[in-house]
Amino acid sequence: MSPLRLLSLAFYGLAMGLIAPAVPAWLRSRVRRGKEDPGRWRERLGRPSVARPEGRLAWLHGVSVGESLSLLPLAERLRAVAPGLTVLITTGTMASAEVLAARRPEGVLHQYAPLDTPGATRAFLDHWRPEIGVLAESELWPNLILTARRRGVRLALVSARLSDGSLRGWRRAPGAAKAVLRAFDLVLARNGAAAEGLTSLGARVDGLADLKFGAPVLPGDAAALAAARAELGDRPLILAASTHPGEEEIILAAFTGIPRGRRPVLVIVPRHPVRGPDIINPARTQGLSVGLRSAGARLGEDDVHVADTLGELGLFYRLASLAVVGGSFGDPAVGGHNPLEPARLDCPFITGPNVSAWLVYAVLTASGATQCVSAQDLPGWFARAVAGDPALRILAERAAKVVALGDAEVASAMDRIVGMLPP
């Protein structure tokens, strides 16, 4: 390592060490503002809230909800090939901790990631002693990465990408960037553009893989599917999936343009089921009959069926002639929702214009597998679904091919990560 590179990293370590005494007070202020977990903020200092289980341990890190959920299939794969292995997932947000608390399987622990001060990283690694560390997406913390490397932890960076801002920042310290990126034994970029950015910083990119692929197909109970088809009869079903406030009104307005004699059933699955009753009045204002699934409504009874239940999205994707993936017509900060779920279930789908959280939409649209549409476009798409337009089947087939390719890349990536485990 060159003297200049050593100097830049040493300066960073010194700076982080100098601010370390002020960090507890800063964290407590964040607790007061609701930005840190009041019972677990000391985990950010590397102080664990649970004991380390005996035996082997793998450490996976994803900063927020999407990244952490993408790590769960990998956690299960590691547990399957190495019985008795504990998997620790670290994240940086309270929302991700809440989601993982509900979804993490047996043998998987969660802690908040330590801040990148020398003391916090040492304390974290002293306690957990991982054999491998897998970091998802864009988390590059020099102290944590280089200290882990010095201790013999085998490291992988997967679904790797850096924002334009991060790339500009690292390019101001090219020696440090190369040293940090070369600490990884395996680097798998999210896509070709991400690979180019990482390579420009001196990374050795070993391939492509986006861990948001590779998830299992959404479940769908066979008996419930048969019952739903019987309730629908010959009426087509249009699905509005994972909707947010304000989106239901847009979708309902478009739906009213379908002539009543040809009207399908519109199923709305709000992102938060507790909002189900909030959709009743907007539907009635449009002159539509509406039923709540939680209140026992049957699919064929009403114009609008609000599925304010949990775990049934897979059922409705299997039934839909067309799905509109929500989180994409309102607040741009939401950034859209998962397009891979309908693609795996052979369901044609479209989405709104705000899909920044799912970069895979760029691949899907370029492949002719979906379209990002405006609110004004929705009536035309709904009419195509009612008419049984064969072009919708072509969309679904193309989307399935994109997902199959991505899933295959992830399967290969998981094999390579599993191969990093010491014998």
- Return the active site residues: 67
Phi and psi based region of residue 165 (left: phi greater than 0; alpha: psi -120 to 50; beta: remaining): alpha
Q: What residues does each domain of the chain span?
A: 3-211, 222-406
Instruction: Give the fold, CATH level 3, of 3-211.
Output: Rossmann fold (3.40.50)
Share of the chain above pLDDT 90, in %: 76
Tokens of 121: 């990283």
Average confidence (pLDDT) over 333-352: 95
Closest-CA residue to 322 (of 225, 254, 230): 254
pLDDT at 397 over 50: yes
Average confidence (pLDDT) over 244-269: 90
Long-range contacts from 359-366, C-beta under 8 angstroms, 24+ separation:
359/161, 359/190, 359/191, 360/210, 360/212, 360/213, 360/402, 360/406, 361/336, 363/191, 363/402, 364/339, 364/399, 364/402
Virtual CA dihedral for 95, 101, 104, 108, nearest 10 degrees? 110
Please give the CATH superfamily to which domain 222-406 belongs: Glycogen Phosphorylase B; (3.40.50.2000)
**Residue range 85-125, pLDDT digits in tens:** 999 999 998 888 888 887 888 899 999 999 999 999 999 99
pTM of the model: 0.78
Average confidence (pLDDT) over 123-152: 93
Residue 300's pLDDT band (cuts 50, 70, 90): confident
**Residue range 351-363, pLDDT digits in tens:** 999 998 888 899 9
Tell me phi and psi for residue 187, to 5 degrees: -125, 120
**DSSP 8-state secondary structure symbol assigned to residue 130:** -
pLDDT at 3 over 60: no
Average confidence (pLDDT) over 160-169: 89
Largest CA distance in the chain: 77
Are 3-211 and 222-406 equal in CATH topology?
A: yes
Residue 81's pLDDT band (cuts 50, 70, 90): very high
Average confidence (pLDDT) over 32-48: 95
